[in-house]
Amino acid sequence: MLGLTLLLAAVAATATATGYIDGREYVYAYKGVMYTGYPRMKPQYSGTAFENNIIIQPHGDYALIKVVNIKRTRFNDEFENVARHPFDYQDIPDGPLHKPFKVYRKNGIVTHFEVTKGEPAFSVNVKRGLIALFNLNFDEAEAAISTEDNDIQKPDPDRHYYKVYEKGVLGDCETAYVIEHHPFHKSPHNNIVLNVTKVRNYHKCNSNPNQVYGTFYGHECGRAEHEKSHTLHGNAQYKYNIRGYRHNYVIEKIYAVGEIAYTPYPLEGQTVAAKMK
């Protein structure tokens, strides 16, 4: 069996300010590398790496977001450690990605966002991916049902572990939350912190994550069986370092890694779960 692995990896954002307050500006460093390869066959990877800054300006019920200093590089080469490779980036000239956009959130979850009229789909998708990182579902802790034993648990706003279904770029998938408190003791003030680990399981989704794009990059999947790929394995992990409380916080750092392995073509004789959005 051939396994083709798509790895989405290493997205890190660091805040340089404390407290989302209207009229202030929050600047994050945002970088990442996404690549595909053939695991255990050859250390060859192809993909793209990027680096930029994100400026967030909160205004009442929405925030204005600007992506600035966008640098990118593409590669197709052999690497010892592709995720840590020091890439040479090129500046991206002003274009749709640089256009500011408005994001509306409610209870920690993005409800909608507004881009400039006529913005191309790739730019809208990059922005959708970026803002999805900010989704934090703290409210569900109060209502969540444990899927393990079908137990209805007592509402507990301080629960440290729970599972919810959460919408992301790749679908509405089961997402487990683990909430811990590990203050950085050298900072003398504001030592109320949340260290959140979020794990999304792409095997448990209300919409199938891997049928949006087919084997041929950038083409939307047809309904034909031979165009559908099979997920062998897929999950994503996010770590958040947050200062504040569950309903009043500033995200200081987000770190995300994801991995999806799939066969490019259906396996012989296997029934395909044909769920299309």
Ligand X SMILES: *[C@@H]1O[C@H](CO)[C@@H](O)[C@H](O)[C@H]1NC(C)=O
Which chain residues interact with ligand X by CB under 6 A?
A: 182, 184, 193, 195, 241-243, 252
Please choose, from the candidates 68, 82, 84, the residue with its C-alpha nearest in 3D space to the C-alpha of residue 30. Answer: 68
Residues 6+ apart with CB under 8 A from 263: 1, 2, 3, 4, 229, 230, 232
Nearer to ligand X, 195 or 235 (CB): 195
Amino acid present at 268:
E
Nearer to ligand X, 25 or 180 (CB): 180
Dist CA 118 CA 201 (whole Å): 34
Nearer to ligand X, 154 or 185 (CB): 185
Structural element, H or E, at residue 245:
strand 230-245
Taking a C-beta distance cutoff of 8 angstroms, is the pair 190, 18 a contact? yes
Nearer to ligand X, 165 or 255 (CB): 255
Shortest distance (Å) from residue 248 CB to ligand X: 14
Which tokens in the block code for residue 201?
Answer: 């399981």
Q: What does the H/E/C string look like for 188-233?
A: CCCCCEEEEEEEEEEEEECCCHHHCECCCCCCECCCCHHHCCEEEE
Q: Tokens 């995200």 sit at which residue?
A: 251
Dist CA 41 CA 100 (whole Å): 42
Taking a C-beta distance cutoff of 8 angstroms, is the pair 172, 166 a contact? yes
Shortest distance (Å) from residue 73 CB to ligand X: 29
The DSSP code for 145 is B
Nearer to ligand X, 175 or 241 (CB): 241
Nearer to ligand X, 193 or 205 (CB): 193
Which tokens in the block code for residue 47?
Answer: 């993909």
Nearer to ligand X, 181 or 226 (CB): 181
Count of C-beta atoms within a 10 Å radius of residue 195: 16
Residues 6+ apart with CB under 8 A from 215: 227, 229, 264, 265
Shortest distance (Å) from residue 247 CB to ligand X: 16
Shortest distance (Å) from residue 154 CB to ligand X: 27
Shortest distance (Å) from residue 254 CB to ligand X: 10
Shortest distance (Å) from residue 184 CB to ligand X: 3
Shortest distance (Å) from residue 240 CB to ligand X: 8
